[in-house]
Each structure stands twice: as structure tokens, then as C-alpha cells.
Amino acid sequence: MPYIRESVDLSVDLLPGHKRGLSLANPVMTASGTFGNGLEYARIFDIQRLGAIVSKAITLKPRRGNVQPRIAETAAGMINSIGLQNIGIEAILRDVAPVWATWRVPVVANIAGESIADYTELAGRLDGTPGVSGIELNVSCPNVESGLEFGVDPRAAAAVTASVRRRTDLPLIVKLTPNVSNIVDIAAAVAGAGADALTIINTFPAMSIDVRRRRPALGWGSGGLSGPALKPIALRLVYLVARSLRIPIIGCGGIMSGEDAVEFMMAGASAVQVGTATFLNPRAPLDVIEGVEEFMRAEGIEDLRQIVGAALAAPESADAGRAPAQYLHPRV
């Protein structure tokens, strides 16, 4: 009979060594844009059980978002083109952050801007706000003209990260796009500019056609693909970055179950974000927590650290180990 472990430790010290740190009761966070600002879900289940909540992207001014329709279902996921609809920083600070401050679960504010000055001002306004435990820089939204601009160019990504870093010592997470030829270059650039952690990945630019109307299904034309279709892509990108850099990674992309989350952690993620699954089942993040716990019990694993990076391959030879990261990609 397999050994079933009674007690498992799900806690994650996401940023060891960081002045303020980011301690999670478990590795499961919500993905930005899939959980509102947490307030509605607080009425549905005990959100304090989550590892962390990531807010909807916050911009300086309120945004109405893109023209409808803004969501289209696909074979293994969905495409969205919300266009960063949100209530703006004023309303967040006035109406929402005071509620966050009453929660035990850490809240990370996802921020988006059109210029480095926008991001820096947003970070400055969030710095020192009770209820805000960290910032996630959204340099990867495919649904606004300026969305991907910063995230696809290492110099631009580093410049926005460095500017925000100078403005705040809050934990700083940068959310990367998969829509680049070498994600390791972007990851290295933002890590060098002061990012404390990376979220890998945001949605992948995608499209769906409404054949009856003979038009793109989404009002904005294209959108960002999320859900299970994205998972193998996200996993590979987590793996590549984890193999090349020493920076905490939060895996994101199509996580539906505890086993999906374990895959991301074995690929090198210290924590995960659950997003699209929540549209199918609002309790999905809790199910993922329970699934990770069950996996650990069944496998006799006491501590999550035994899982993180477990699948990172040792170099096949000393020469391969010394090769620059990009030459290792085809072997993954």
C-alpha cells in the first residue's frame, strides 16, 4: 500500500531575501483579469484560503474597454479582448484597497500603462497603500495598442521595470508575453532591471472568425488565447526561463487541476496562477489547491520545495551545460 503523508507544507516564501517578502499560505494565486478585484468572489467562497489574489489591471484613468463581443470560446480555451476595462487608480485606492487591507490573503496589484511615466506613477500611488502586497507589471496585454510594446523588447521591458523599481520597494513581478522569439532575453532584461519575480505567461495573440457574420468573432478583431490550449506552451517557457535564470517564477497558462499546477512547479515555477478555469468553475483555484495537496500526500511529499524544478533536466554533457540558453532550446 502506498505511503500516504498526513501533513504537507503548502506554504511558499516567494521572495526570500526581499525586504518586505511575499509569503503565500499555498502556491495558488488568481490570474489578473479572471477574478475581478476579489470582492465578488469573497461572496462565493472563502477567498482567504487562496495563496494570493492578483487584481484586474489598473490604469491611471478608468477604462471602458474594447467594443463587444469581447470573449469567444475556442476548442480548448477562450480568446478575450477586454481592453483593460477597469475603474482606475483613484477608485481602487478609495473603494477597493481599504477592503483588501482587511484580508489575510495578500493582494498583488496588476498595473498597465501607455508610457513608462504611467507605470511609474501607478507604482508610486500603490506604494505604501495598506492592502497592497506587491505589484505585477502588465507589459503583455495583447488587447490595447500599446499593450505588448514594452514586453516584446528587452530594452523597453528593462526600462519600465527599472523606473518602477526606483519608485517602490514593493515586491515587483513582471508578467511576460509568450509572443516573443526568445523569452529568456526578456526575462533576463527585467530581472537585471530589478524585477523580483516573473509571471510566465500572459495570453497568446489569437483570433476566431464568426462564419455566419463573415467577420472576426471579437469586436476588436483579435484577442488573447487562454485556457488548456496554452498550457504546453506556457510550461515550455517556464522551463526555459527556470533553466537559464535564478528568479522566482509564477507559472500561468491553462491550469485546470492540481496536477497541472504540479507540472508547472516541476518545470521550475514556485507558484501558479489560475485564470480561465475560474470561468468554468468559480471554485477552480480552491480545487487546484486541494489537488496539489492530494498529489503531495499520495506521493509522500512533505514540502513543496521538493517539487519546484524537479523536472529541470541536468545538462546531457558538460559542454551542453555551458552553452548559451538559446542553443539549448531545441533540445527541450
User: Given the rule CB under 6 A, which residues bind ligand SIN?
Assistant: 33, 57, 80-84, 138, 140-141, 143, 202-203, 224
Q: Checking phi first, is residue 174 left (phi over 0); if not, alpha (psi -120 to 50) or beta?
A: beta
CA torsion sign, 161 to 151 to 313 to 29? positive
| SS3 annotation, the chain | CCCCCCCCECCEECCCCCCCCCEECCCEEECCCCCCCCCCHHHCCCHHHCCEEECCCECCCCECCCCCCCEEEECCEEEECCCCCECHHHHHHHHHHHHHCCCCCCEEEEECCCCHHHHHHHHHHHCCCCCCCEEEEECCCCCCCCCCCCCCCHHHHHHHHHHHHHHCCCCEEEEECCCCCCHHHHHHHHHHCCCCEEEECCCEEECCEECCCCEECECCECEEEECHHHHHHHHHHHHHHHHHCCCCEEEECCCCCHHHHHHHHHCCCCEEEECCHHHHCCCHHHHHHHHHHHHHHHHCCCEHHHCCCCCCCCCCCHHHHHCCHHHHHHHC
Shortest separation between residue 141's beta carbon and ligand SIN, angstroms: 3
Provide the minimum distance between the beta carbon of 266 and ligand SIN in the complex, in angstroms, as a whole number.
26
Of 15, 108, 137, 141, the catalytic one is 141
Nearer to ligand SIN by Cβ, of 145 and 319: the residue is 145
Nearer to ligand SIN, 107 or 296 (CB): 107
Strand pairing category for 134-138 and 204-206 = unpaired
| CB of 137 or CB of 308, closer to ligand SIN | 137
Q: Which lies closer to ligand SIN via its Cβ, residue 141 or residue 157?
A: 141
Least distance between ligand SIN and beta carbon 123 (Å) = 17
End-to-end CA distance of the chain: 35
| CB of 143 or CB of 244, closer to ligand SIN | 143
Q: What is the CA radius of gyration of the chain?
A: 19
Cell of 63: 477604462
**Identity of residue 106:** P
Minimal distance, residue 80 CB to ligand SIN, in Å: 6
141 is catalytic: yes
CB 290, min distance to ligand SIN, A: 27
Q: Least Å distance between CB 140 and ligand SIN?
A: 6
Of 84 and 296, the one with the shorter C-beta distance to ligand SIN is 84
Please state the closest distance from residue 55 (CB atom) to ligand SIN, in A: 11
CB-wise, 140 or 161, nearer to ligand SIN? Answer: 140
| Residues belonging to the active site | 141
